[in-house]
Amino acid sequence: MTLDDRWIGGWAENPAEVIQETVLNWFSAEDMAQIFSGQNEHRGGRTPYSDSWHFPDSLVTLYANPKLDHILIEFSGQCCEIMRQRELMGKILEVAAVRGTRIDIACDIETTTTPDEFVGEGHSDRFQTTGRYDSPSGQTVYIGSQKSERFCRVYRYAEPHPRAKLLRVEYVMRRDHAKAVARECRYKSIQSVVRSLGEAYKWASGEWQPEEAEWAEITVERPEKARKNAVRWLITQVAPAFQRLVREGNIVDPELFLKEHFLNGTGLSD
């Protein structure tokens, strides 16, 4: 989510205000003001973001860094439930289908089966079990590399946690996989998407019994790598330099400059 010149290169006078305004303009929905309104708590950041602002009423967090030209918006599971109840998820998914970088989808199963037992009954050979962690709070088994674009974790909390009776199968999708899932969630039921995600892992456990639902085709769109890198370079390197030259008066007529140096010979200069 690109910020304006009040931000780039240093903190704005009121960074939280600039962030809220940018977010609301991007989503172009008055109802979204319910999510990004009220008091916010200024907190520390996480790499590469130096600061964050948390909205306790909606449980959404905004991450930013004055040296970066974008914002990371993190919607918690509870926030997603709030937006679902207010019928705002469609707008979020519309944006996520284009700009989303991570989506987690969790499925809870009421059973006494442990993560070890669930995974141990078998799954697709495409995914290897890469980790098992036990702690006083519960047990987690990871399937697939946690550094990859998609992996799954199966876990359950230990007593006396209120969700100790549930086995959770949680799918984590990043980058192109996140965008692909967001696109499907816009048009298909969540049960359909979950069914497709489960099919990819081919769970052998009898505990995995998703509701009957229309099949969702989750396909990942991958633009040709060189073209993608060239476009990223234009946006992140060339565009800021061009804007700076215009602001400093070194380029008096930006439109004429583009026609002469970029569009000449493309058939788009007139």
pLDDT tens, residue by residue, 73-94: 888 888 888 777 877 788 778 8
Q: What is the pLDDT of residue 62?
A: 85
Q: What is the pLDDT of residue 173?
A: 92
What domain count does the chain have? 3
- How would you list the strands of the sheet with 41-46, edge to edge? 41-46, 49-55, 60-64, 72-75
User: Pick the residue with more confidence: 90 or 152?
Assistant: 152
In a domain, 85, yes or no: yes
| Confidence tier at 212 by pLDDT (50, 70, 90) | very low
Q: What is the pLDDT of residue 220?
A: 58
The lowest-confidence range among 108-117, 223-232, 258-267 is 223-232
Give mean pLDDT, residues 34-40: 74
Domain boundary residue among 53, 84, 99?
A: 99
The total number of residues shown for the chain amounts to 270
**Most confident of the ranges 64-78, 161-175, 186-200:** 161-175
Q: Which two tokens stand for residue 25?
A: 């303009």
Regarding whether 200 and 238 lie in a shared domain, the answer is: no
In a domain, 268, yes or no: no
Q: What is the pLDDT of residue 140?
A: 93
Regarding whether 156 and 73 lie in a shared domain, the answer is: no
Give the contacts of 266 (CB within 8 A, at least 6 positions apart).
none
Closest CA to 172 of 154, 191, 199, 195: 154
Regarding whether 104 and 122 lie in a shared domain, the answer is: yes
**pLDDT per residue as tens digits for the range 40-55:** 788 888 888 888 888 8
What count of other Cβ atoms lies within 10 Å of the Cβ of residue 145?
Answer: 13
Q: What is the pLDDT of residue 213?
A: 40
* Cβ atoms of residues 190 and 104 within 8 Å: no
Q: What is the pLDDT of residue 250?
A: 84
| β partners of residue 72 | 63
Whole-angstrom CA distances from 184 to 96, 180, 216, 217 are: 11, 7, 7, 7
Regarding whether 91 and 2 lie in a shared domain, the answer is: yes
Which structural domain, as residue segments, surrounds residue 181? 100-221
Burial of 209: CB neighbours in 10 Å, binned 0-12, 13-18, 19+: exposed
